[in-house]
């Protein structure tokens, strides 16, 4: 049987029209938002979406709203044609790939009436969300408590950008179910809370972390690691796995578990951004493990920042 070839949609109105047409025929829509440069972890999200919905939409959009001025948006890896081939190869395939050009650019002052002109028609007028003049984007969604701490400490605009672009995508795609990976644990919890608080009629699924054969959590950033740093980065999963085992054996003192993990990673050459054991729901730090927690870490190896986590239920 030939692989299903996804329809590629770039226009917001066309995307919304497709979804509403499919739902009118009795179909449910599953959605997987991505920034592209797909790997097996992303494809596992698509497979999970197939278990939840009739038709699948995957977005490929590098969101400028979650990058701060000192983070170079232009260096984010991209391979659109390769992404399409991978999505077409997934069992069951993908029905639509939504690949908008820029969700934050507005070509004239008639915002909100569906008459935005495209970039080519009004290049001199279009202003990105990261600029502070003209008709740029100025409406943001914040999940104020959950966005603090963990990645929010070192990337203060990141989750504002994530919550906002996901809201925009939800309003365009109008899915019934959305799947996020648990590797980005804080992001997953933020989206869950946002959906609850804003009364989106969307079911949010958290998909388990997919790892390389040697334990490294799959990430689009892994390709930027030097061969030496790639090996050193294995200390992250080793440290988390050791903490999980020690907790299961009765070590419930979080400071002891954290210090041991930091030592393991630091001895391998990593620079720890943070290492925290937090409540799985509130993401509040805990001192003693008495309920389900998650051990979250962010580590620099060279110029590459990696995140990983391990759920601990004792």
Catalytic residues: 42
* CB contact at 8 A, 243 and 312: yes
How many helices, marked H, and strands, marked E, lie in the chain? 9, 9
- In angstroms, the CA 142 to CA 166 distance is 11
- Give the 3-state secondary structure of residue 67: coil
From 110, 95, 93, 112, select the one nearest 171 (Cα to Cα): 112
**From edge to edge, which strands make up the β-sheet containing 96-98?**
7-9, 96-98, 55-60, 29-34, 177-181, 203-207
Count of alpha carbons within 13 angstroms of residue 84, beta-carbon side: 11
**Assigned token pair, 134:** 């003209």
- In angstroms, the CA 155 to CA 233 distance is 21
């Amino acid at each position: 049987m030939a692989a299903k070839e996804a329809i590629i949609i770039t226009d917001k109105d066309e995307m919304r029209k497709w979804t509403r047409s499919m739902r009118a025929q009795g179909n449910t829509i599953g959605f997987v938002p991505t920034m592209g440069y797909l790997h097996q972890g992303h494809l596992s999200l698509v497979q999970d979406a197939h278990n939840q919905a009739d038709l699948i939409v995957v977005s490929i959009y590098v969101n400028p709203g979650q990058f701060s001025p000192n983070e170079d948006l232009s260096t984010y890896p991209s391979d659109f044609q390769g992404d399409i081939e991978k999505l077409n190869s997934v069992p069951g395939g993908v029905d639509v790939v939504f690949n908008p050009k820029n969700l934050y650019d507005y070509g004239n002052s008639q915002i909100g009436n569906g008459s935005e002109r495209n970039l080519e028609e009004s290049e001199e007028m279009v202003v990105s969300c990261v600029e502070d003049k003209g008709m740029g984007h100025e409406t943001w969604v914040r999940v104020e408590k959950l966005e603090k701490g963990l990645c929010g400490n070192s990337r203060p605009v990141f989750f504002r950008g994530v919550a906002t672009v996901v809201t925009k995508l939800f309003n365009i795609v109008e899915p019934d179910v959305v799947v996020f990976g648990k590797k980005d644990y804080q992001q997953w919890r933020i989206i869950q809370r946002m959906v609850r608080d804003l009364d989106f009629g969307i079911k949010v699924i958290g998909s388990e972390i997919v790892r390389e054969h040697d334990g490294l959590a799959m990430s689009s950033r892994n390709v930027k690691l030097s061969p030496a740093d790639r090996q050193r980065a294995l200390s992250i999963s080793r440290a988390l796995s050791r903490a999980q085992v020690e907790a299961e054996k009765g070590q419930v003192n979080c400071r002891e578990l954290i210090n041991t993990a930091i030592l393991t990673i630091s001895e391998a050459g990593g620079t720890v951004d943070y290492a925290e054991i937090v409540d799985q729901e509130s993401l509040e730090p805990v001192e003693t493990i008495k309920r389900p927690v998650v051990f979250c870490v962010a580590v620099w190896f060279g110029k590459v920042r990696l995140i990983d986590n391990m759920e601990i239920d004792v």
